[in-house]
Structure 1
Amino acid sequence: MDATGAEPTGSEVDLIQAFAEEIDAEIEWTASGEESLITALKTGDVDLMAGGLTDQSPWSSQAALTRSYAEDTGPDGKTVNLVLAVPLGENQMLGELERFLDERHPETTP
């Protein structure tokens, strides 16, 4: 995600915009570091977190991670699986997001 302009851009932004349209939700972007965003997820100030999170995220005990929806190359040159995060206990939202990812990215469905 590139948050340097007036509006964020990038493939994750496009994915989240498509999901928001599907569930008729409004987006309010918050650009910050992972620790701040995880805290915001836990307090209910943020509903969905993206930004290069992987299935090996150290935050997996503090947020519910989706299944992988894409692959990328990590800083060590190895392939990593990208995921999104929602607050723990948000099972309905996680289910809707997983269904959306299954439809949008079936090639990565386990």
Structure 2
Amino acid sequence: MSKLLPLVLPLVLGVAACDGYPRDANDSTRRADEHAMRVGVSHDPPFVVASAGGREPAGIEIAMIRDLARAREADVEWVVSGHDALMRELKALRLHAVVGGHVRGSAWESEVGWSLEYRLRPAPQGPLVARRLALPPGENAWQLVVDRHLFSDDAALGAGPRR
């Protein structure tokens, strides 16, 4: 047994150290739960409709965020602005997500985190459209929370949420 101890001890300590992973580098999950989910909104109809005059935003992705907040018993603070301004705020970890206006291959592609891809049908007879939510970089636990919620009712992640 004493010969096995040097081999087993590092393994046991390594497994014990993994408790609580994934983690957020800057506590996004805790901040969302204790304060509110701060979500950037960029006008991108029909997925995101940023209304003027202080009205709440609307659209398919807005409903998805409201569902996530309701499931977590969290409030949502909507931040309406231009896409690049919102992405700068997200990268600086001042937002929990940005919805609307994302283009594949943009300069933001490697600067922030992204949810798993999901597919939405913006019109009853229209095609499915691939979409993603922009998430703060390095906030791995928060990304897992979002992805689990997006796909919680689906048999396979590849199918995307049913909308």
State the TM-score, normalizing by the size of structure 2. Answer: 0.56
| Consecutive aligned runs of 4 or more in structure 1 exceeding 4 Å deviation | none
Tell me which amino acid in the other structure corresponds to 2:157: T
The reply on whether 1:13 has 2:62 as its aligned counterpart is yes
- 2-structure distance, mates of 1:20, 1:83: 17
Match of 1:4 among 31, 34, 51: 51
Report if the CA contact (8 A) 1:2-1:10 is conserved: yes
Shift of 1:34: 1.5
Paired amino acid for 1:88:
P
Q: Deviations over 1:62-88 (max 9, x none)?
A: 111111122468xxxx97510001110
Provide the residue aligned with 2:139 in structure 1: 90
- Cα distance in 2 for residues equivalent to 1:72 and 1:91: 28
Q: How many residues align?
A: 104
Structure 1: any 5+ residue segments left out of the alignment? none
Distance 1:93 1:26 in 2: 16
For residue 4 of structure 1, report the CA deviation from its aligned partner: 1.7
Sort the Cα spacing of 1:12 and 1:41 in 2 relative to 1 into closer, same or farther, 3 A. Answer: same
Root-mean-square deviation (Å): 2.3
Residue aligning to 2:157: 109
Larger Rg: 2
Look up the equivalent residue of 2:93 and give its one-letter code. G
**Could you say which residue in structure 2 is the equivalent of 1:48?**
97
The superposition leaves residues 33-80 of structure 1 with CA deviations (integer Å, 9 ceiling, x where unpaired) of 2210111112222111111435x252221111111122468xxxx975
Q: Runs of 5+ in structure 2 lacking a partner?
A: 1-47, 159-163
Name the structure 2 match of 1:37. Answer: 86
Matches of 1:38 and 1:79, distance apart in 2:
25
Aligned to 1:100: 149
Distance 1:98 1:57, change over 3 A: farther
Residue 20 of structure 2: aligned partner: none
In structure 2, do the counterparts of structure 1 residues 79 and 103 end up closer, same or farther at CA, with 3 Å as the change threshold? closer
